[in-house]
A and B are shown apart, each in its own frame.
Chain A
């Protein structure tokens, strides 16, 4: 049953959406049904709750997190649930008449019920984390409700501001709850409430308290987080009446009550709550008087009353809690009715500006009378509910000793605030409903429909009833709520209209008199107020957010993301040098102990050549062709280094890779200007030179340190196993196709992907005619001598590559090198005879070639599955053939064939696409 209490509004939130097309009346009835049921359910639990029973239900959700679905219904929860459901129903009735035909009823009511469900969750959650969940849901649904008229700028700004402040507070609350959970070891409310002493003595208590209070203060619009509430008034009035008087802003107050046994009772608690409450109460009351907007006045009044309630929680007397809860109920009733009255005035006159309104009692006498009573309750006039709770408040304010020697300050400031609250209540009534008839208004004022006024009548009757028969109407409810709040036996107190002549009464009377006087002097005050610089919270908020934060972020982002890859590379290298350098600085000695070989002339010569060529590449990089030639010298140097250290496979690979890549680069250079026009500044050149130098030096140091250290590596295994396990004497090749064949497999895939990637990039690309770039080429495109010489070269080259391929497993060679040699031979055909000539003789679609290479390698790899062996397991044997003699055969050779085909195919795809690029020309060229 407890669960259906929570679920009803949530499920109900779907009904208005489904019934939206059935008309407004059906929609409203369907909206009202779930809360009405929930209210009946709630009332049916009253006997149990009033006997002090604690109704709970619980399911596990995420126990690992301590987050469980648990609800509890005690006196406190009952009180708030009653407010939420009852006032919610009244608001639905009111909203039915308030919304215009243009507004989407379905959406509005759906959001309203969503909010109602979230609120019910907050007040009944039995798990603090679950409560945070609902807490944030109220922020989210209120964002959508405030922004209901999203086409209006003030609504958007108000909604965003409310969400930012309350959402941020929610995050603080989450952190606070986490700290509490850490201290207590559980989020279950029963555990937390029982652990008050542990909490208060823990060294993290101040952290937890401040974080939780941040949540409370933002939600309940306490100074200095109060500024969002007045601007949330851009919401439709039913929303203001519901969220911003009776329910959502009370969530903070509820939390104070809920966690009272766990967190209260410390110096920090009293000081923070009393000071924040006091300043909020005063600020709200003062500003309210000067608001010309009816809803603005009520909003600041709400802030002030919330401050009062928070202050009550911060007083060190038990009765203050009773007073706080009492005032919460009273405020909800009179403030909701006042908002509805203000809404009626707005609805029927088209204006909420107090300066324009006047004498409305002539047009809407009943509304005026209702407003009068509610405003009197707000001002704390005797016989109204507001009087009783403010009397209690003044009584406790006099009793308390929170601020030590300065404790008198609290009653003094309280009276000061009350003076203002009397004055603004007077202004709300007198300036609007009394006085001469108003000037021209947007609409001709008249009484609203009876049922629009009905909710106000009910609330006002409640104000009076509670005010006159407090003990009968709210006595039991209040005592059971207060008892479950403090979790102790409450001291004796009486709810009566008449307490005799005492100090609180005297102060009340004093405040009334001064309040009336203040109201009579209002015009002078307004003049004073107008001299203050105008300050609009949304403007300030948007200024801080947009002009400072957003613009600042954009500046930072722009600074960081220059969009130049040069800068990114610089950062990458600097970062690497810094990190690796920091580690290398810890090396006790650079030299690891392995003695160095003597420098011989060939090594020195190779090294010097490479240094010069590398420098040449960098210095001459603007002359691209020359730089490329220098670069090829560096590459050849690398090949020589390999040769010097007896690695013939690597020499062959390096040489053929070098040839292919230089040719491809030359093809690309054809499309680029020969000279790089832009020149870097001298400072930049120096910067880059220094970075490059330091980077090179670091890498040199690293290499030196590694090479001078003894190495115990797995390569011994490869040497030992190459013949017996891999069936080949060329260890490099066996490593490539067998030991680490999977790497090779991956790399040929890379090659295949690169081929189709480049195809994708260049396919259909149109480029500017490179002729405009200042190139001068020989007229003879396909020199006769070259093509004649080239003809016999192709079969020869193919023979060589076949040879290299076959012997690869035992002697330097293999599929990769053979593939490159074949590719070079074919490239030569393209170069000497042109694209079309060659394509006529070759298939111009090399995609299948690439794919078949990878496929052959893949099939070979997977073939071993059929022998129950892991992927890529090889088998090898020796076959004795006539004439040819003994031939070593290994499955690795099939794999190598895949490598060969992929290399040939990929190179040709790239080459063909680079060669095929059609420069875009506006005029036909005069080529033969």
Chain B
């Protein structure tokens, strides 16, 4: 059981390798292997979720080299939560993908699993350079997936994506190099210890490295002014890929919470919360510009892409508050926004397929083949994403508002959060009424009913929202415990570096 923690990385890796061997095999064989692996990852991560739920840290020294010298994998509640989300989203996106997306090339399934491996590894690692490695894995496989199926639009968007992210990788190395150059270590816990003891005259260098890393993670998370690549990339990607990518921006957010939360957290001495001061205005502006994008978007997929950016801004703003109670609402929101945007990407694809030439453009077109069904589903999704009751969007919004009530940062956060909600509501009602009510002609010849599996997957993703509402209490208390654990950076440090503990004793 002690090696279980490596399974979220090793399982998709082995699957990916097997699938490369099978590159020329029949597609059905690849699908079977791929699906079985994605299914297995659910119990794999569920076990970890249960283990982490007890509140203990699990530290796994790869190569049996103890931290800070070797690479350590660290499991806590937050990591387990992200792992679970990834495996659920991965399975569902894959189920959607096997209905058509995977026909565009030989290595869709291999890339898909490498993508999962990169994400899971990044969530598990406790080492800054190793995080870089997993960033590279996600980057290169996401590039492969983005391009998958080709087409000029897709190729162009993914080229922009990879160019920017390669520059981001270079910056990542500069940031890591700076930290190593000043502090002489790479393990996150050890870095945190050394930052707490850093000489004041060296602190600006550490801060500079922190800010460079903020840029890197911010690029991945798509915060202002680094999100400009996202709408094109996400809206032109194959639907299953776009929906999986709902968690890619969360990787950036995860890294900020993990790295900056630890390095510039309550233990950081002179540098305590040094990053939040920068993050706060950036995050609020991200929300505003994301909302502007939502309002101006011409296609449904772009609306969803900008909703992703709004959600990124929201989570980052909450991160920047450094407020424990608000964080727990923010974590709930993170789960909600991931699944709802993923569902919306799939839904946008299903709708687009029934509108002929008009695709997902927000203009009158032929009536849909299944207007009632899709209309109802869209309505529910819109309600959830706009933060209206009774779905998870409302619960998360209410929880954020409630936690932050009375605090000094509340006015700005509330105003922008609620305004963004209103803009989402307006945009979704415009989009919905145009797509479902406004028709250019009466015939819907040539369109087919939605594929049952695809529809089922979209519904399953959407189902997360009401489930999150029904089990709101349990989930919120998990988020609360997660936030507490995240904020308790000394607990993390002591778990990874027990020697420091004994030294102090």
* Given A579-B211, A579-B215, A858-B17: A553 touches B293 (CB 8 Å cut-off): yes
* Given A556-B296, A756-B144, A862-B10: A869 touches B64 (CB 8 Å cut-off): yes
Q: List residues of B (118-174) whose CB comes within 8 Å of A's CBs.
A: 121, 129-130, 133-134, 136-137, 140-141, 143-144, 147-148, 150, 155, 159-160, 163-164, 167-168, 171, 174
Interface size on B, residues (CB 8 A): 123
Contact A746 B130 (CB under 8 A): yes
Docked pose: A117 CA to B3 CA in angstroms:
53
* Given A60-B473, A64-B473, A560-B289: A739 touches B69 (CB 8 Å cut-off): yes
A909 CB to nearest chain B CB (Å): 10
Contact B114 A870 (CB under 8 A): no
Contact A858 B10 (CB under 8 A): yes
Contact A63 B402 (CB under 8 A): no
Q: List residues of A (582-602) whose CB comes within 8 Å of B's CBs.
A: 582-589, 592
Closest to A855 in B: B17
Q: List residues of A (199-246) whose CB comes within 8 Å of B's CBs.
A: 204
Contact B405 A179 (CB under 8 A): yes
The reply to whether the CB of B184 lies closer than 8 angstroms to some CB of chain A is yes
B-contacting 9-mer, from A94-102, A424-432, A706-714 = A706-714
* Given A706-B178, A746-B134: A873 touches B64 (CB 8 Å cut-off): yes
The reply to whether the CB of B300 lies closer than 8 angstroms to some CB of chain A is no
Docked pose: A560 CA to B476 CA in angstroms:
37
Contacts of B439 in A (CB 8 A): 151
Contacts of B111 in A (CB 8 A): 753, 756-757, 760
Contact B105 A763 (CB under 8 A): yes
Q: List residues of A (131-183) whose CB comes within 8 Å of B's CBs.
A: 132-134, 136-137, 139-140, 143-144, 147, 150-151, 153, 155-156, 159-160, 163-164, 167-168, 170-172, 174-175, 178-179, 181-182
A651 CB to nearest chain B CB (Å): 19
Closest to A178 in B: B401
B-contacting 9-mer, from A45-53, A341-349, A779-787, A846-854 = A846-854
B-contacting 9-mer, from A273-281, A508-516, A569-577 = A569-577
Contacts of B433 in A (CB 8 A): 147, 150, 156, 159-160
The reply to whether the CB of B33 lies closer than 8 angstroms to some CB of chain A is no
Chain B binding surface SS class: helix
Contact B63 A871 (CB under 8 A): yes
Q: List residues of A (49-108) whose CB comes within 8 Å of B's CBs.
A: 60-67, 107
Contacts of B232 in A (CB 8 A): 561, 563
A167 CB to nearest chain B CB (Å): 5
Docked pose: A756 CA to B113 CA in angstroms:
13
* Given A156-B438, A746-B134, A760-B144: A66 touches B24 (CB 8 Å cut-off): no
Contacts of B383 in A (CB 8 A): 140
* Given A156-B433, A178-B405, A709-B202: A742 touches B295 (CB 8 Å cut-off): no
Q: List residues of B (377-401) whose CB comes within 8 Å of A's CBs.
A: 379, 383, 388-390, 394-395, 397-399, 401
Closest to A556 in B: B292
Contact A64 B477 (CB under 8 A): yes
* Given A62-B395, A172-B418, A553-B296: A741 touches B23 (CB 8 Å cut-off): no
Contacts of B228 in A (CB 8 A): 560-562, 567-568, 571
The reply to whether the CB of A451 lies closer than 8 angstroms to some CB of chain B is no
Contact B425 A167 (CB under 8 A): yes
Docked pose: A65 CA to B480 CA in angstroms:
11
Docked pose: A136 CA to B394 CA in angstroms:
10
Contacts of A847 in B (CB 8 A): 20-21, 23-24
Docked pose: A858 CA to B24 CA in angstroms:
22
Docked pose: A174 CA to B177 CA in angstroms:
47
A587 CB to nearest chain B CB (Å): 4
Docked pose: A520 CA to B186 CA in angstroms:
89
Contact B106 A759 (CB under 8 A): yes
What 0/1 pattern do residues 280 to 313 of B give for CB contact below 8 A with A?
Answer: 0000000001001101111000000000000000
The reply to whether the CB of B345 lies closer than 8 angstroms to some CB of chain A is no
Contacts of B167 in A (CB 8 A): 569, 572-573
Closest to A558 in B: B296
The reply to whether the CB of A549 lies closer than 8 angstroms to some CB of chain B is yes
Docked pose: A324 CA to B111 CA in angstroms:
67
What 0/1 pattern do residues 103 to 123 of A give for CB contact below 8 A with B?
Answer: 000010000000000000000
Contact B21 A143 (CB under 8 A): no
B331 CB to nearest chain A CB (Å): 13
The reply to whether the CB of B6 lies closer than 8 angstroms to some CB of chain A is yes
The reply to whether the CB of B229 lies closer than 8 angstroms to some CB of chain A is yes
Chain B CB within 10 Å, residue with most, of A557, A582, A721? A557
Docked pose: A65 CA to B400 CA in angstroms:
10
Interface size on A, residues (CB 8 A): 128
Contact A702 B205 (CB under 8 A): yes
The reply to whether the CB of A918 lies closer than 8 angstroms to some CB of chain B is no
Contact A554 B296 (CB under 8 A): yes
Docked pose: A583 CA to B232 CA in angstroms:
33
Partner of B473, one of A61, A587, A851: A61
The reply to whether the CB of B450 lies closer than 8 angstroms to some CB of chain A is no
Contact B17 A854 (CB under 8 A): yes
Q: List residues of A (332-359) whose CB comes within 8 Å of B's CBs.
A: none
Contacts of B298 in A (CB 8 A): 554
Docked pose: A147 CA to B379 CA in angstroms:
13
A810 CB to nearest chain B CB (Å): 19
What 0/1 pattern do residues 50 to 70 of B give for CB contact below 8 A with A?
Answer: 000000000011111100111
Docked pose: A888 CA to B180 CA in angstroms:
32
Docked pose: A563 CA to B14 CA in angstroms:
38
The reply to whether the CB of B245 lies closer than 8 angstroms to some CB of chain A is no
Docked pose: A176 CA to B388 CA in angstroms:
16
What 0/1 pattern do residues 694 to 731 of A give for CB contact below 8 A with B?
Answer: 00000100100111010111110110010001000000
* Given A171-B418, A568-B164, A742-B71: A587 touches B204 (CB 8 Å cut-off): yes
The reply to whether the CB of A524 lies closer than 8 angstroms to some CB of chain B is no
B96 CB to nearest chain A CB (Å): 19
Contacts of B65 in A (CB 8 A): 725, 738-739
Partner of A545, one of B71, B133, B426, B480: B426
* Given A706-B181, A713-B185, A858-B10: A167 touches B422 (CB 8 Å cut-off): yes
The reply to whether the CB of A626 lies closer than 8 angstroms to some CB of chain B is no
The reply to whether the CB of A743 lies closer than 8 angstroms to some CB of chain B is yes
B304 CB to nearest chain A CB (Å): 15
The reply to whether the CB of B182 lies closer than 8 angstroms to some CB of chain A is yes
Contact B184 A709 (CB under 8 A): no
Chain A CB within 10 Å, residue with most, of B200, B205, B399? B205
Contacts of A134 in B (CB 8 A): 389
Contact A713 B398 (CB under 8 A): no
Contact A572 B402 (CB under 8 A): no
The reply to whether the CB of B231 lies closer than 8 angstroms to some CB of chain A is yes
The reply to whether the CB of A565 lies closer than 8 angstroms to some CB of chain B is yes
The reply to whether the CB of A478 lies closer than 8 angstroms to some CB of chain B is no
The reply to whether the CB of B262 lies closer than 8 angstroms to some CB of chain A is no
**A–B complex contacts, Cβ < 8 Å, 28 sampled:** A62-B472, A133-B394, A139-B388, A140-B383, A159-B433, A172-B418, A175-B418, A178-B405, A181-B402, A551-B296, A560-B225, A576-B215, A584-B205, A699-B174, A702-B205, A706-B182, A706-B205, A715-B184, A739-B69, A740-B71, A743-B71, A746-B137, A760-B147, A761-B150, A848-B21, A850-B20, A855-B21, A864-B64
Beyond the given A174-B401, A584-B205, please list 7 additional residue pairs across the A-B interface where CB-CB is below 8 A: A64-B399, A133-B389, A575-B215, A706-B177, A713-B180, A738-B65, A741-B63
Q: Which residues of A contact B (CB under 8 A)?
A: 60-67, 107, 129, 132-134, 136-137, 139-140, 143-144, 147, 150-151, 153, 155-156, 159-160, 163-164, 167-168, 170-172, 174-175, 178-179, 181-182, 204, 545, 549-557, 560-563, 565, 567-569, 571-573, 575-576, 579-580, 582-589, 592, 699, 702, 705-707, 709, 711-715, 717-718, 721, 725, 738-743, 746-747, 749-750, 752-754, 756-757, 759-761, 763, 765, 845, 847-848, 850-852, 854-855, 858, 862, 864-865, 869-874
The list of the 6 closest CB pairs from A to B, nearest first, reads: A713-B184, A150-B437, A553-B296, A757-B144, A182-B405, A746-B133
